[in-house]
Structure 1
């Protein structure tokens, strides 16, 4: 669609559209990697970077593509960008909720380690992916045996 718009737009809108497309593409690659690492490995900095890139870079560029009437917005382009905006907003909300949950869990784990109530994360009953016990709560702590009976 950029091809159809390109010759009818002034020079500064051409530059803005090309820059916006390149920025969206590059940020999307980095964002996907950070979201993957932050989510699966439960790393807060990577997930926070994913959230910031989504909120600070992609959202404004996408809103520019949807709302600026100086560029020629084709109906298909409006539909695709609207769908992309909905998915991006869902990702921003989900990553915010995941970040909140992860930071609460890590804060509680930190406080419990200070009081010496947390076992080592490397014993046999731990999940190899997340380091958490299989049939227990989300915190790696020893519970009395009569809890499960």
Structure 2
């Protein structure tokens, strides 16, 4: 007995292929989105705090009171042997260094431990533009009558400061790279999600258009 095969309508074949492709492609998309979320989470959870910078800040926190008492004592010893303008400059410089140092150490701790780029950038700027010039003035200008103890404590403080400037620069570069990577990952995720939401991955057909046979409406 002959068997007759009725051909499947072409629009029905297209509809079935579209449905199957959408299901399996959406599964792959969900897997890729899950992997991307895992990668993004690993980048977010990665700690980029700079350990050498944190150690320098910790030791500087204990050394600064010793430096301050030594500087005040040396200033009192030589105060009346200095011209009037050097007296004013040294007092102003000591006050500025004291105030800025408190703010600088706070910004360094917050910026490094909590990975806040603006705070760490402010720490670097204060170190490079305020503390370093004043300290170089204390240690290089012979008109201020540099005493041996003063030269020693200023030299140690200068080493701390230069090391912190270098370490904070490296920490800023690492944190900036992390933020840039996160930005690109999130932008890539948005672009792909928009692309999948608007276009069919197989035939390039919009998702809101159907190729299934539609009964004519009267």
TM category, shorter: 0.7 to 0.9
Match of 2:144 among 71, 94, 118: 71
* RCO higher in structure (CA 8 A, sep ≥6): 2
Give me the TM-score of the superposition, normalised by structure 1: 0.77
How is 1:87-106 mapped onto 2 (pairs within 5 angstroms)?
Answer: 87-106=160-179
Shift, 1:116, TM fit: 1.5
| Deviation at residue 21 of structure 1 after TM alignment | 0.4
| Partner SS state of residue 12, structure 1 | helix
- Give 1:5 shift: 1.0
**Equivalent pairs, count:** 117
1:82 aligns with 2:155: yes
Runs of 5+ in structure 2 lacking a partner?
Answer: 1-73, 191-218
Paired position in structure 2 for 1:49 = 122
Give the root-mean-square deviation of aligned CA atoms: 0.9
Select the residue among 101, 106, 110 that pairs with 1:28: 101
**Equivalent residue, structure 1, for 2:51:** none
Which protein has the larger Cα radius of gyration, Structure 1 or Structure 2? 2
Distance 1:67 1:33 in 2: 28
More helix by share: 2
How far is the alpha carbon of 1:107 from its aligned partner?
0.4
CA distance in 1, matches of 2:177, 2:78: 48
In 2, the alpha carbon distance for the partners of 1:15 and 1:113 equals 54
TM-score normalized by the length of structure 2: 0.53
Structure 1 residue ranges (4+ consecutive) displaced by more than 4 angstroms after TM superposition: none
Alpha-carbon distance, 1:30 to partner: 0.2
In the aligned structure 1, how far is the partner of 2:189 from the partner of 2:112? 28
Distance 2:115 2:182 in 1: 14
Structure 2 residue corresponding to 1:5, chosen from 78, 82, 107 = 78
Match of 1:115 in 2: 188
CA distance in 2 between partners of 1:37 and 1:24 (Å): 20
Structure 1, unpaired ranges of 5+ = 118-149
